[in-house]
Amino acid sequence: MARPLRVAVIGGGIGGLAAARALLMRGMEVTVFEQAPRLSEFGGGVVLTPNALTALRALGLEDRVLADGFESKSQVVRSWRSGRVIVRNSFASYRSMFGATSCSIHRGDMQKLLAEFVPERDLRLSARCTEVIPGPRGAVARFADGSEVEADIVLGADGIHSAVRTSLFGPENPHFTGLMCWRGLVDPARLPPGLVAPEQTAWWGPHGHVVHYYVRRGELLNWVAHIETDSWTEESWSTEGDMAELLETYKHWNKQLRQIFEATERCYKWALYDRDPLKSWGRDRVTLLGDSAHAMLPYLAQGAGQSIEDACVLADVLARTPEDPDAALKQYEALRLPRTSKVQLGARERGRINHLSSPWDRFKRDARIAWRRWRGAKTALQEIAWIYGYNPQQPVVAQP
Ligand SMILES: Cc1cc2nc3c(=O)[nH]c(=O)nc-3n(C[C@H](O)[C@H](O)[C@H](O)COP(=O)(O)OP(=O)(O)OC[C@H]3O[C@@H](n4cnc5c(N)ncnc54)[C@H](O)[C@@H]3O)c2cc1C
């Protein structure tokens, strides 16, 4: 019997750990190399749409994620100042149309949960990859401490500033989108009772939008506030923001939002940079997965979901053709790259729609949404079916 494939996964974020889980389930030998000295508690909430939960089901983790996250009953979009409901979608209709619901989870909780399924000896911390060397029968990963690891396949799951991607394709030039975000987590006990309904909520306004939803079984409320700006900030998850600047920026927005911001002890800010889809994800025995392959704007809530889908598809193709990993890697890219590129571009377009500045354009947008709702909830959701209806075990566009 041929020996199992050895895969070195660079990066122990959601994508890397999901890949480890998927590959281990298929009997492969996996080692994850994570630069941080411990898995970080850092970060806020991530939304998992039905396609992400379908992918997690394939990894046997859907129920655990629903138990550790927060399952809202619906998603609502409100107008920035009045709070008027622009559209509300029940997640019961998601289940019937897409076969799964949507939930939100703290990034740290998700990372911890996924790490439970990687044996301790296969998760190497404080291992910062500096370079990869692809070869026709295997690949080598080099680390900051001077060590090297050789594997049949090296998978770059090392996020938006991927060293593996740089090693393959050289340094990139992301462009600043003119958008930045603040993010915070609030203990709901600090808010007036009943102020924030248990719904995934978005507030669309001129030049910006705000989203909030509960995570950690409702023990924390996560919010993210997006705004168009000329000021240039870092593309980092850990730069602390100034509460006074945040409150000044949103001073004309709905009072409820300002109450949420005022109850927040600490906020973080980061600038949004955009990347064009890559033409290829790898060379020889090295490939990419998650944000390293397809970093995207957050407007379709697909960052985590797309990386989990990648993990399922990669493990499937490698398990189907273990004797020919080169063909499997090509198939992985052929199955995943067109879809993730479309999601990257779709997220770009969604930003434009969310932030319309002219009242007339906003009126036309809201009227269009109302018209589609009037024709039926199913028709209204049809537009997003190509994302939400995807099943990584049948990786073609699912028809609802
Ligand atoms: C600290 C942090 C906080 C985040 N907070 C949020 C948030 O609040 N909301 C949200 O929606 N998304 C957040 N994200 C992004 C979100 O997790 C990802 O978009 C999504 O989950 C896709 O995951 P990924 O595994 O491809 O990348 P990531 O989640 O970015 O994971 C990449 C991992 O690779 C590691 N790494 C990077 N470079 C190297 C290297 N050279 N060698 C070894 N390891 C390396 C990183 O430490 C990280 O653990 C955050 C990401 C990070 C890293």
Q: Tokens 């018209």 identify what position?
A: 371
Which of 90, 50, 4, 105 lies closest to 380 in space, CA to CA? 90
Distance of CA 382 from the midpoint of ligand 1 (Å): 31
Distance of CA 367 from the midpoint of ligand 1 (Å): 38
Number of C-beta neighbours around residue 243 at 10 A: 16
Mutate to test the pocket of ligand 1, among 9, 38, 46 (most ligand atoms within 8 A of CB): 46
Amino acid identity, position 269: K
Tell me the per-residue pLDDT of 42-62, one tens digit each, with 9 for 90 and over.
889 999 999 999 999 999 999
> pLDDT tens digits for the chain (400 residues)?
578 999 999 999 999 999 999 999 999 999 999 999 998 778 899 999 999 999 999 999 999 999 999 999 999 999 999 999 999 988 988 999 999 999 999 999 999 999 999 999 999 999 999 999 999 999 999 999 999 999 999 999 999 999 999 999 999 878 888 889 999 999 999 999 999 999 999 999 999 999 999 999 999 999 999 998 877 677 888 888 999 999 999 999 999 999 999 999 999 999 988 889 999 999 999 999 999 999 999 999 999 999 999 999 999 999 999 899 999 999 999 999 999 999 999 998 887 777 777 888 888 888 888 887 777 766 668 889 999 999 998 875 433 3
Residue 107 near ligand 1, beta carbon < 6 Å: yes
223 forms beta bridges with 184, 212
Residue 35 near ligand 1, beta carbon < 6 Å: yes
Question: What distance in Å separates the CA atoms of residue 155 and residue 24, rounded to the nearest whole number?
Answer: 14
Question: What distance in Å separates the CA atoms of residue 375 and residue 368, rounded to the nearest whole number?
Answer: 11
Tell me the per-residue pLDDT of 302-333, one tens digit each, with 9 for 90 and over.
999 999 999 999 999 999 998 999 999 999 99
Reduced to 3 states (helix: H, G, I; strand: E, B; else coil), residue 368 is helix
Which of 157, 128, 131 lies closest to 142 in space, CA to CA? 131
Which residue owns the Cα nearest ligand 1 atom 19?
A: 303
Residue 241 near ligand 1, beta carbon < 6 Å: no
- Mention every residue, 6+ apart, whose C-beta is less than 8 A from residue 41: 108
Distance of CA 100 from the midpoint of ligand 1 (Å): 25
Side-chain half-sphere of 227: how many Cα atoms within 13 Å? 18
Q: Which atom, in ligand 1's list, is nearest to the CA of 183?
A: 8
- What per-residue confidence (pLDDT) applies to 396? 57
* Active-site residue, selected from the candidate residues 213, 299, 332, 390: 213
For residue 254, what are its two tokens? 């709905």
Reduced to 3 states (helix: H, G, I; strand: E, B; else coil), residue 315 is helix
Mutate to test the pocket of ligand 1, among 42, 106, 147, 291 (most ligand atoms within 8 A of CB): 291
Distance of CA 13 from the midpoint of ligand 1 (Å): 5
Residue 156 near ligand 1, beta carbon < 6 Å: no
Residue 305 near ligand 1, beta carbon < 6 Å: no
Helix and strand numbers (H, E) in the chain are 14, 17
Residue 40 near ligand 1, beta carbon < 6 Å: yes
- What per-residue confidence (pLDDT) applies to 182? 95
Q: Which atom, in ligand 1's list, is nearest to the CA of 44?
A: 8
Homologous superfamily (CATH) for 6-172+276-388: FAD/NAD(P)-binding domain (3.50.50.60)
Q: What is the pTM of this model?
A: 0.94
Asked about 214 being catalytic, the answer comes back as no
Question: Is the C-alpha dihedral spanning 11, 15, 18, 19 positive or negative?
Answer: negative
Alpha helices per DSSP H over the chain: 14-25, 50-58, 62-68, 91-98, 107-115, 163-169, 243-249, 255-262, 291-294, 303-320, 325-354, 359-374, 377-382, 385-388
Question: What distance in Å separates the CA atoms of residue 147 and residue 340, rounded to the nearest whole number?
Answer: 33
Q: Which atom, in ligand 1's list, is nearest to the CA of 33?
A: 43
Counting every residue, how long is the chain? 400
Q: Which atom, in ligand 1's list, is nearest to the CA of 11?
A: 34
Distance of CA 227 from the midpoint of ligand 1 (Å): 22
User: What are residue 234's phi and psi, to 5 degrees?
Assistant: -75, 150
Which residue owns the Cα nearest ligand 1 atom 14?
A: 43
Distance of CA 161 from the midpoint of ligand 1 (Å): 9
Reduced to 3 states (helix: H, G, I; strand: E, B; else coil), residue 73 is coil
Q: How buried is residue 13: exposed, middle or buried, by Cβ count under 10 Å (0-12/13-18/19+)?
A: buried
Taking CA 295 as the corner, what is the angle to CA 292 and CA 298, rounded to the nearest 5 degrees?
145
Residue 347 near ligand 1, beta carbon < 6 Å: no
Q: Which atom, in ligand 1's list, is nearest to the CA of 14?
A: 25
Question: Is the C-alpha dihedral spanning 225, 226, 228, 233 positive or negative?
Answer: positive
Residue 158 near ligand 1, beta carbon < 6 Å: yes
Residue 117 near ligand 1, beta carbon < 6 Å: no
Residue 205 near ligand 1, beta carbon < 6 Å: no
Which of 306, 299, 289 lies closest to 224 in space, CA to CA? 299
- What per-residue confidence (pLDDT) applies to 273? 87
